[in-house]
Amino acid sequence: MVVLNRIYTRTGDKGTTALASGERRPKNDLRIETYGTVDETNATIGMARLHTGADPVLDGMLARIQNDLFDLGADLATPDTGEPLPYEPLRVIESQVARLEAEIDTLNERLEPLRSFVLPGGSPAAAALHLARTVCRRAERLAVALAGRPEERVSENAVKYLNRLSDFLFVAARIANDDGRADVLWVPGKTR
């Protein structure tokens, strides 16, 4: 259980923060940027959920995803150094990725195939979900960059989860646009 009885600690006043292991890193460290962007993704989903309550299936999926994103943040905040920890670190697991895939498939059944790219917009929920998708893509790019560093380890499932989540958020945005009927479609060269 997490207990937060004091919000400010002053330990970050010199520009560092602690990983779950206790190791201190600069606040602009790539690992910190990565899980910070996962947190930002979570916040944008929270904003989107202000508009998704009319669809309890979609809203329930988003609520589960928000919890998963805290798992993902914990995973990224606890690098696997090969050294034993005094606790079992929380990791994103394959079943969380599989659940996202199943939910994408469930939502996609409600949609007609696309014949053009979709512009971010339409309903307030769809616009917010598209914003969440783009922030998620940034988190994924950061996770891939972090995983590409020889001195860093990132779980394969963490990267997979972010990749599937951005796909989920795209499909969810279409669902929020009246099951795709209110999608705003790109018209190539329309404003020439």
Predicted confidence at residue 2, as pLDDT, reads 63
What's the rounded Cα separation, in Å, for the pair 83 and 154?
Answer: 15
CATH for 31? 1.20.1200.10
How many domains are there within the chain? Answer: 1
Q: What is the pTM of this model?
A: 0.92
Is pLDDT at 141 greater than 70 in this prediction? yes
What amino acid occupies position 93? I
Query: 28-78, pLDDT tens digit by residue?
Result: 899 999 999 999 999 999 999 999 999 999 999 999 999 999 999 999 999
Is pLDDT at 155 greater than 80 in this prediction? yes
5 lies in some domain: no
126 lies in some domain: yes
Which residue range(s) make up the domain with 47?
A: 26-78+91-182
Predicted confidence at residue 189, as pLDDT, reads 93
